[in-house]
Structure 1
C-alpha cells in the first residue's frame, strides 16, 4: 500500500514540475534563469526522469521549444546540458501577422524557431550541440531560409559559415535568395556564397520576378549584375519587363529599358501595358495616356507603323471596339472615358493573352465598377467574357470559375427580379434573353464530361462542391431563359437546350440530386463573394421551371443518395407550398416511395404544416398496394417477377411502407 502511494506521489511531482517548467518558460523574459526551487526539484530526479519531463509536450510545444523562441539562452543551456532535452524535438511556430501576409502555424525544429525569431546566441548554442542545420519544417523550409525571410543577416551568415545549404528550396521551390529580395545586402551575401541566381519556384519565378513585384530596384539591379536571366517567364508568361509593367514599378521599368535592349515592338507593348496598369489599378488616367502616347510614337516609324500583334477579333464584351492605331485616334478617344477603359482591356488581352490571370482580374474588376455605376449590361458583358475565359482555361470544376459563374448568375437574377433603373441606354435594366442563353451554353457545354471526371479517384471535395454550385447556377439560368424568352424561336431554343441537358442527366456530385430535386427546394440559392452583404434572391420552388422540366421528361421519381425523390424534398417543412406537391403527383410522382430512413411523402402531405387535403388513394396504384401487402407478409419476389416489376417492388420495399 505504501509503495503504491509513493508511486502516485512521484507521478504527481513529475507533473507539477512539468507544469511549472512550462509556465516559467512562457513567463520569464530573455536572459532569465529557471527559478532555484524548480531546478532543485528537477535535480532530485535522475537524468532519465528529467529527460522524460522536459521532453513532454503541451499544446504542441516542449519547454525547450518555448525557450528557443523567446531567446532564453540560459534556460536552453540548462534544459539541454542538465536535463537531456531533445534539440530536434519539433514544435508549432505561429507566424506573427506583422511578418507574413497570412497568419499560419508550422511544425518546425527548435533551431528553425530560434532562427526565424532572430535569437543568434540560441542558434549558436544549438548548432554547437549538433542541431541539424538543414532540418526542414512541414513546408520544407530550412532554418537558414526562414532567417532569410525575416532578414536576420547575422544568423544567415552564421548558418552559412557552419555549412547550411542556401540552395535547398522549400516544397514550393522557394530558395533563400527568393526569400531575401527585400534586402539587397542579404542577397549580395548569398550570391557571393553560391546562391543560384536563376533558381525557379513552383510558379517558374526567379528571385528577379519577386524583386520586381516588391518594387526593390536595388535588389533588381544587383540580381541583373550577377547574371539573372531577365527573359525567364513565369507560368503566366511574365518576364522581367512584363512583371514591371503589371506591377506599375516605374523606376524598375525605366532601369530595364535603359540597361537592356528591347525591340521597338516590345517597347511599345510595354508602354501600352504599363499605361493600362495605371488606369486599371490606380485610376491614373494621366499616366495611362502618357505611356500610350509614348508607345504610339515608337510605333510610328519612318518605315511605317509597327502593327499591334496578335490581331484580335472584335468582341461583344468590348462593344466591338478596336485598339487605336494612330495618334489621331488616341487623341479622339481622350474625350470618352468609357472608350478609354475599353481600350485598356483590349491592350491587356492582346499583350497578356486571354487566359492570363491579370487579364481575367481586370475584366472582373471593370465589370464590378460598371455595376457600381448602374451600367448593368456592361458588367454582364465583361463578367461573361471572364467566365468564358476561365472555362476555356480550366473548367467548371475550378474554384475561380465557380466564383465567376456565381457572381454573374447571381447578378443577372438579382436585377431581373428588381428591374432597377440603369444608366444604360434603357431607362430600366431588363435581363436579356441572349445573355442567359450564352451563359447557359458556357456552363453546360461539357457538363456531362465533367460529371464523369468527378467519378475518377482520388476525388477532391472542393471540385465536388464546385460542380454542385454550377448546377445551381444552371437551374437559375433555366429560370432566366424562361422569363426572358419572348418569341416562338426563343422558346423553342430553350426547349432544345434543356431537353439535351435532361438527357445528359447531370446530378449533384455530393448528394446525387437531379435538376428537379434542386428546383423544388427553397435551399437552391446562389451565394457570391461579390454580394456578401446581401441576402440571396429566393427563386425556387418555381412552378414554371418545375413544370417545364417535367414536360421535357425529367423523372419525378429519381432518387438522390438518401433515396429521396423530388416529392420527398417538396414535402420538407421549409418547402411548404400549396401547388408543388399536387403538381409532382400530377406528373406521376409516387407518394408512397420510402427513402433510406423509411419516410414516405404520404406521411407528410396531410399534416402540419402542409394540410393539403390530398386524397391519398387517388395516387396509390394497385401495384403499390400489392407491394405493401408483399412487404407486410414478407412474400418473396426476387426472380419471381419480370425485371421491371422487380425493380418497382424493390423501390417501394421498406419496413416502413
Structure 2
C-alpha cells in the first residue's frame, strides 16, 4: 500500500482520480494516508463533491496549496465542478481571489476552460474580474484561451476588463492573440465591440504582422478586406508582413501579400 508510481502518486491518489468514494473511505480508514498531499486538489478537479467533503472531514486542508501551487478552489474551477466550488467557498476559509501558479485566480481558470456555470457563481460571490497574472494576462486573455465567444462577449458587455488591455511577454491585446490564432469569429467580435486595430506589440507588430506569423490566409484576407491596418507597415526590425511570411516559410501567404502591396524588402 505504500508504493507510488513515477509521479509519486499512491493508491489513494488514483482512487481520487476515479472519484470512487467507497474505495477512498476504505483506504483512508485502514491505511491512514496523509490528507495534506495533492489528494484534495485531485478530488476537487475530478469530482464529485462527496469525495471532497469526505477528505475534508478526514483532515484535508482546503486552504493548503498543492504541489502544483494551486489551491483546491483553483482545481475545482478548472474542472467545472460547480457543487465542489460552492462547497469550498462556503467553508469561509478560502480566498475567492487566491493566486495559484503564475498568479492565476479561480475566475481565470473558469474563463480559460469555458466553465460558464462556475464563472457565473464566482462572479456572484464577489470574484475580482480585474486581476491579472504575473505576466499581465487579464481575464479576457484567459477567456480567449477557452475559445468561447460567449464568454468573451459577456466579459466585454459587462465591462469587466478593458478590451485593449495588454498581456504576455509580447504585451499583446486579445485582438492580437485572435489574429495570431486564426480565430476569425472572435477577432470580428472584438473589432465590433471597439477593440483598437492600430495597436502594436512590443516588437512593433500590428495585427497583420501577427496574423501572418500565425499562417492563416483567411485571417490575413479578412484584415485586409476590412482595411484594419496598413499593409506596408514595418515592425521594429523593419520587416513587413510579406517579409515575415517569407521568414516563416509561408510561400502562398508571402505571394498573396506581395501582390496586395506589402514590400518584399
Match of 2:183 in 1: 249
> What pairs with 1:85-484 in structure 2 (closer than 5 Å)?
85-88=33-36, 90=37, 109-163=38-92, 164-181=94-111, 182-224=114-156, 225=158, 227-234=160-167, 235-260=169-194, 266-267=196-197, 273=207, 277=211, 281-284=215-218, 288-295=220-227, 323=232, 347=233, 349-350=234-235, 353-354=236-237, 366-367=246-247, 369=249
Q: Aligned in 2, Cα 1:139/1:86: closer, same or farther, shift over 3 Å?
A: closer
Matches within 5 A, 1:48-59: 56-59=2-5
Q: Is 1:115–1:144's contact at 8 Å kept on the other side of the alignment?
A: yes
Gaps of 5+ in 1: 1-17, 19-55, 91-108, 300-307, 309-321, 324-346, 373-384, 386-657
Deviation of residue 274 (structure 1)?
Answer: 5.0
1:69 equivalent in alignment to 2:43: no
- For each residue in 1:438-480, what CA deviation from the matched residue of structure 2 results, as whole angstroms up to 9, or x when unmatched? xxxxxxxxxxxxxxxxxxxxxxxxxxxxxxxxxxxxxxxxxxx
Q: Any conservation in 2 of the 1:197–1:207 contact (CA below 8 Å)?
A: yes
Relative distance call for 1:202 and 1:66 in structure 2 (3 A) is same
Given that 2:73 and 2:88 are in contact with CA atoms closer than 8 Å, whether structure 1 keeps it comes out as: yes
Q: How does 1:29-44 map to 2 (within 5 A)?
A: none
Q: Contact 1:267–1:295 at 8 Å: present in 2 too?
A: no
Cα gap change, 1:85 to 1:362, in 2 (>3 Å): farther
Where does structure 2 lack aligned partners over 5 or more consecutive residues? 201-205, 253-264
Change (3 A) 1:364 1:150: farther
C-alpha separation in 1, matches of 2:90 and 2:241: 45
Rounded to whole Å, the distance in 1 between the matches of 2:208 and 2:243 is 17
Normalising by structure 2, report the TM-score.
Answer: 0.74
Q: Residue by residue, what CA displacement relative to the aligned partner does 1:101-155 show, whole Å, maximum 9, x if unpaired?
A: xxxxxxxx21112112223221111123331102222231112212222222222
| Cα distance change, pair 144–354 in 1 and its aligned pair in 2 (3 A) | farther
Q: Distance in 2 between matches of 1:208 and 1:132?
A: 31
Distance 1:147 1:79 in 2: 23
Distance across 2 between alignment mates of 1:83 and 1:288: 61
RCO higher in structure (CA 8 A, sep ≥6): 2
Distance change in 2, residues 1:125/1:282 (3 Å): same
Whether the aligned pair in 2 keeps the contact of 1:68 and 1:122 (CA below 8 Å) is yes
- Determine the C-alpha separation between the residues in 2 that align with 1:269 and 1:233: 10
Deviations 1:148-167 (A, max 9, x none): 22222222222222233332
- The CA RMSD measured in Å over matched residues stands at 3.7
Q: Distance in 2 between matches of 1:126 and 1:360?
A: 58
Q: Tell me how many residue pairs correspond in the alignment.
A: 242
Alignment match, 1:79: 27
Using the alignment, how far apart are the partners of 1:364 and 1:257 within structure 2?
24
Bigger-Rg structure (1/2): 1
Residue deviations 1:563-590 (CA, integer Å, cap 9, x gap)? xxxxxxxxxxxxxxxxxxxxxxxxxxxx
TM-score (norm 1): 0.33
